[in-house]
Structure 1
Amino acid sequence: MTIRPTSFALAAFAGFALLAACGSGDAPAASVDAETAALPLSNGMTAAETIDARQTHLKAVGKAFKTISDGLKESEPDMAALQAAAASVPAETATMADWFPDGSGPASGVKTDALPVIWEARADFDSKMADFTAAAATLDTAAQAGDIPAITEAFKATGATCKACHQTYRADD
């Protein structure tokens, strides 16, 4: 039987990968080759596309939160601005459940602040996303009603759901 150098290299790579997987878990994730990084995840996008999309949506949510926060500090808040910002939060996060498919964490080789614990404690993470979604809907309802005290309370509650998730599941906070 003739062993081809390519077959040997693939076998050696597989062996090293297996050894790395059995390690202590303290080693940084190996870089992912371009072919692997280009494979579609369960949401139909690559890891890079998924991470870029979720970061884009979350930055938009952050911008909306800033608008609401700044508006609530005014003696005469711009209700139209508050309503538009509050409405944008559930709109931006409508597909949030699809933003964290397996393969879109740090092990993908793509820079992300999402911690691996998201995929290790998925039920808790999903519960926290559901809490945020419900709070965002309440915030939007309060804003559309034009009730500043209700908007203030709903904004605090929505922010608390963000914080609860970020404390455990996001780096760089």
Structure 2
Amino acid sequence: MPHRKTSVAAAALLGLSLLAACGSGDAPESAAAPEAGAEEVILANGMTPKEQIDARQAHLKNYGKAFKTISDQLKSSDPDMAAIQTAAANLVSESEGMDTWFPEGSGPDSGVKTDALPAIWENPGDFSQQVANFQTEAAQLSEATKTDDVDAIKVAFGETGKTCKSCHETYRADD
């Protein structure tokens, strides 16, 4: 039993740190007001910068909810495996198309508040690799949840969180 308590405590600590790293969007909604003229710009995808950033933030907030669900369940003495599986599957489905969430013109230079750093557009190859890494780890986490092996899920959850944090270190402000 002492080993289980240590394992649960370690998972709780890991979960909180991952949640802090990945659980928030670009910026608070109240801070997303565009400066004059920002609404007049139409991106290549037909959206305004504000619409694109709002859509991006919605996806990222869904990530936060999924990470929180998994973290909370892994801290539980009797984790709800169905909730973990659903949250992990949501990470996978939310990450589809993630590489399209950051079109040219949807960064800080748009005049809309965003925590996305210019480095995203300055280093598109590396940013795309970071996105691909997250998608791979999220898929592996989802597969791990199908085993009902809590220890394997904790490992996969940690790896998924590391990819999220790694990207934030370079491409997101206010972390």
TM bucket (normalised to shorter chain) is: 0.7 to 0.9
**Shift of residue 54 of structure 1?**
0.7
Aligned to 1:58: 60
Which has the higher Rg, Structure 1 or Structure 2? 1
Q: Deviations over 1:82-112 (max 9, x none)?
A: 1111111011121201100000000000010
Distance in 1 (alpha carbons) for counterparts of 2:69 and 2:46: 33
Distance in 1 (alpha carbons) for counterparts of 2:43 and 2:147: 40
Distance in 2 (alpha carbons) for counterparts of 1:43 and 1:98: 9
SS at match of 1:41: coil
Indicate which of 48, 68, 72 corresponds to 1:46: 48
Distance in 1 (alpha carbons) for counterparts of 2:76 and 2:83: 12
Distance in 2 (alpha carbons) for counterparts of 1:145 and 1:50: 37
**Shift of residue 33 of structure 1?**
4.3
Aligned to 2:112: 110
**Shift of residue 144 of structure 1?**
2.3
**Shift of residue 32 of structure 1?**
5.8
Distance in 2 (alpha carbons) for counterparts of 1:90 and 1:130: 11
Aligned to 2:79: 77
Pairing of 1:24-173 with structure 2 (within 5 A): 33-34=36-37, 37-173=39-175
Gap regions ≥5 residues in structure 2:
1-33
Distance in 1 (alpha carbons) for counterparts of 2:61 and 2:68: 10
Task: Give the number of aligned pairs.
Answer: 142
Aligned to 1:11: none
SS at match of 1:145: coil
**Shift of residue 166 of structure 1?**
0.3
Gap regions ≥5 residues in structure 1:
1-30
Distance in 2 (alpha carbons) for counterparts of 1:102 and 1:128: 17
- Root mean square deviation, CA, Å: 1.4
Structure showing greater relative contact order (alpha-carbon pairs closer than 8 Å, 6 or more residues apart): 2
Q: Deviations over 1:126-163 (max 9, x none)?
A: 11010001000111111123221111111000000011
Q: Deviations over 1:28-48 (max 9, x none)?
A: xxx8643x5333212221111
SS at match of 1:91: helix
Structure 2 length as normaliser, TM-score? 0.77
Aligned to 1:5: none
